[in-house]
């Protein structure tokens, strides 16, 4: 869930000087409207890794907004009084009243993550804590609160460099302590624990907003605009205030995202392609016949731009597998039978048994792609779907399935070229429809939807692999290599753990 926060987001000084005054004015105006007309509280959680700018961001909010109507609640080790009460007691006491904004520096997430890193909390107990938190936040939202949860992220190297920079500057050196450097050593454990916590609590009523913390200007503008947009949207909402309202998706203010960051110029020449194709097909054939695979199933999920080459890639995968061992499930609009069931029902019915492979040509992500963009479901439905999908994939993983998800991306120019080729070639005409041409006109909406789904559903157990597919040879080899590498890792991990037990 941290891919978009490791792309190197930055805002130059000139852009910041131009944007900051407008944002500050808008925030103050909106805050005034909120004080006069807001019949709900705002709860803002500021969390993240050390050195990512949590304290600086809180200071910026106090500078940009009227501090008389802000409250900052800092939570560290529970006091003796707090330890004698239920865990959530101190957070209940600190909740802001209607018409005020409460900023939580540290929150109900801090202690469970810290205990998990120290090994004092097993995964089962952690999940129970997260269930409790989800119910708590659902209650807040149902009572009318607007809940905004920010996680400031830095890569491991980025955190190290930022701590050095802060330590070097006499004005900020005090922020870096021995504990800061000690926590850098547990970075990987933090990422694992935090990634799991974010996945478990990324709910439609209180989703996480992951922000890259490398550049102060980018971080400040991003947070400020998200808070502004969320407040304005909520104030303009004329529905019953007890109706759950999620904050809007985080805007991309510098036009850099997981799709625009791809290098679509990558290619493989024919001879290299044929060599690599044979190599990885041979390896895949070995892996699905490996004794360890009999304890697992393999689920391949293919999504991508129209004409990106999903069908051709799937054929190169199946060429390496015994036809009796795999099933391809093409996903189209739901039937009447499927519409009468919960959304994920039609995918559950195709989940493979162990030692089998199921390949989905289009997937359960249709809810947050075509159904979202075309308005086939309500906003509440597709916002809720991110959590349901994550839980679905997590459950598959727990039961031994290896879930590998691909998004194939091509440029608009390459797509137009392929569309025209399909119209000219007799045996490819069935692949091009009026709907394909119509979807091109909504490319911006689909682009945004894809970025959102990657940010919200790329988890440690089922990460997305983004495939640069302008060159079909490159794409097919990358897909086969990724499948083999993921299979090898899953099978070897289990084998090593069994040896350790012996």
Q: What is the pLDDT of residue 54?
A: 92
pLDDT grade for 500, boundaries at 50, 70 and 90: very low
The mean pLDDT value for 249-267 works out to 87
The answer on pLDDT for 172 being more than 80 is no
Distances (CA, A) of 82 to 97, 173, 256: 21, 32, 44
Residues 6+ apart with CB under 8 A from 384: 204
The answer on pLDDT for 23 being more than 80 is yes
Q: Which of 164, 206, 204 is nearest to 50 (CA)?
A: 164
* Rg for the chain, CA atoms, rounded: 24
pLDDT grade for 497, boundaries at 50, 70 and 90: very low
The answer on pLDDT for 245 being more than 60 is no
Going along the chain from its start, the domains and CATH numbers come out as 3-236 (3.40.50.300), 270-501 (3.40.50.300)
Residue 274 and residue 282 in contact, taking contact as beta carbons nearer than 8 Å:
no
Distance CA 243, CA 245 (A): 6
pLDDT in tens, 346-375: 999 899 999 999 999 999 999 999 999 999
Burial code (b: 16+ CB inside 10 Å, e: under 16) for 131-163 equals eebbeebbebbeebbbbbbbbbbbbeebbeebb
Residues 6+ apart with CB under 8 A from 72: 58, 62, 102, 103, 105
The mean pLDDT value for 13-17 works out to 95
Residues 6+ apart with CB under 8 A from 80: none
Residue 480 and residue 281 in contact, taking contact as beta carbons nearer than 8 Å:
yes
pLDDT in tens, 472-490: 999 999 999 999 999 999 9
Q: What is the pLDDT of residue 60?
A: 96
Q: pLDDT higher for 495 or 7?
A: 7
The answer on pLDDT for 43 being more than 60 is yes
* DSSP code of residue 197: H
Residue 144 and residue 39 in contact, taking contact as beta carbons nearer than 8 Å:
yes
Q: What is the pLDDT of residue 273?
A: 97
| Bridge partners for 104 per DSSP | 45, 73
The structure tokens listed for 290 are 């490996």
Start-end of H helices in 148-260: 156-168, 178-184, 187-201, 216-236
pLDDT grade for 1, boundaries at 50, 70 and 90: confident
Ranges 190-204, 274-288, 370-384, most confident: 274-288
The answer on pLDDT for 345 being more than 50 is yes
The mean pLDDT value for 163-182 works out to 80
Q: What is the pLDDT of residue 427?
A: 52
Phi–psi pair at 320, nearest 5 degrees:
-100, 0
pLDDT grade for 430, boundaries at 50, 70 and 90: low
pLDDT grade for 341, boundaries at 50, 70 and 90: confident
The mean pLDDT value for 296-324 works out to 96
- What 3 state SS string does 129-168 have? HHHHHHHHHHHHHHCCCEEEEEEEECCHHHHHHHHHHHHH
What is the pLDDT of the chain when averaged over all its residues?
A: 89
The mean pLDDT value for 2-21 works out to 93
pLDDT in tens, 78-113: 888 888 888 888 899 889 998 899 999 989 999 999
pLDDT in tens, 130-154: 998 999 998 898 888 999 999 999 9
pLDDT in tens, 231-244: 999 999 876 654 55
Distance CA 208, CA 202 (A): 5
Q: Which of 455, 50, 53, 45 is nearest to 218 (CA)?
A: 53
The answer on pLDDT for 391 being more than 70 is yes
The answer on pLDDT for 496 being more than 80 is no
pLDDT in tens, 195-220: 999 999 999 899 999 999 999 999 99
Q: What is the pLDDT of residue 433?
A: 66
The mean pLDDT value for 322-328 works out to 96
The mean pLDDT value for 168-183 works out to 79
Q: Which of 203, 188, 220, 74 is nearest to 140 (CA)?
A: 203
Sign of CA pseudo-dihedral 461, 466, 471, 472: positive
């Amino acid at each position: 869930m941290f891919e978009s926060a490791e792309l190197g987001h930055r805002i130059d000084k000139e852009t910041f000087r131009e944007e900051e005054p407008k944002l500050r004015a808008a925030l103050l105006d909106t805050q005034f409207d909120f004080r006069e007309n807001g019949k709900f509280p705002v709860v803002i959680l500021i969390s993240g890794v050390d050195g990512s700018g949590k304290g600086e961001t809180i200071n910026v909010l106090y500078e940009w907004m009227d501090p008389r109507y802000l409250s900052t609640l800092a939570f560290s080790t529970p006091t003796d009084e707090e330890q004698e009460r239920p865990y959530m007691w101190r957070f209940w006491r600190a909740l802001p009243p209607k018409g005020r904004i409460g900023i939580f520096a540290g929150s109900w997430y801090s202690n469970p993550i810290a205990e998990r890193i120290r090994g004092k909390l097993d995964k089962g107990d952690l999940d129970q804590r997260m269930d409790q938190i989800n119910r708590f936040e659902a209650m807040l939202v149902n009572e009318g609160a607007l809940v905004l949860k920010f996680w400031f992220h830095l890569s491991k190297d980025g955190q190290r460099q930022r701590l050095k920079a802060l330590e070097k500057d006499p004005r900020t050196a005090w922020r870096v302590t021995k504990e800061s450097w000690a926590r850098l050593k547990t970075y990987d454990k933090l990422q694992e624990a935090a990634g799991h916590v974010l996945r478990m609590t990324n709910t439609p009523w209180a989703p996480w907003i992951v922000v890259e913390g490398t550049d102060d200007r980018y971080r400040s503008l991003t947070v400020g605009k998200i808070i502004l947009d969320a407040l304005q949207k909520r104030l303009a909402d004329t529905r019953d205030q007890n109706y759950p309202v999620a904050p809007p998706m985080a805007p991309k203010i510098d036009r850099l995202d997981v799709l625009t960051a791809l290098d679509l110029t990558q290619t493989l020449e024919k001879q290299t392609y044929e060599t690599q194709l044979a190599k990885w097909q041979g390896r895949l054939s070995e892996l699905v016949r490996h004794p360890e695979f009999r304890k697992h199933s393999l689920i391949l999920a293919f999504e991508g731009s129209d004409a990106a080459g999903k069908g051709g890639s799937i054929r190169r995968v199946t060429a390496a597998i015994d036809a009796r061992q795999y099933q391809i499930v093409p996903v189209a609009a739901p039937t009447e039978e499927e519409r009468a069931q919960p959304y994920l029902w039609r995918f559950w019915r195709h989940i493979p048994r162990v030692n089998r492979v199921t390949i989905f040509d289009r997937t359960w992500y249709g809810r947050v792609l075509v159904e979202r963009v075309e308005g086939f479901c309500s906003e509440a439905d597709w916002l809720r779907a991110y959590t349901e999908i994550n839980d679905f994939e997590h459950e598959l993983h727990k039961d031994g399935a290896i879930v590998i998800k691909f998004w194939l991306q091509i440029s608009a120019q390459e797509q137009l070229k392929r569309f025209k080729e399909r119209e000219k070639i007799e045996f490819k005409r069935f692949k091009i429809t009026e709907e394909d041409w119509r979807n091109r006109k909504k490319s911006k909406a689909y682009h945004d939807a894809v970025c959102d789904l990657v940010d919200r559903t790329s988890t440690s157990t089922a990460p997305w692999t983004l495939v640069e597919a302008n060159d079909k040879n490159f794409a097919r080899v990358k897909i086969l290599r990724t499948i083999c590498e993921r299979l090898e890792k899953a099978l070897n991990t289990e084998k090593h753990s069994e040896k350790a037990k012996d």
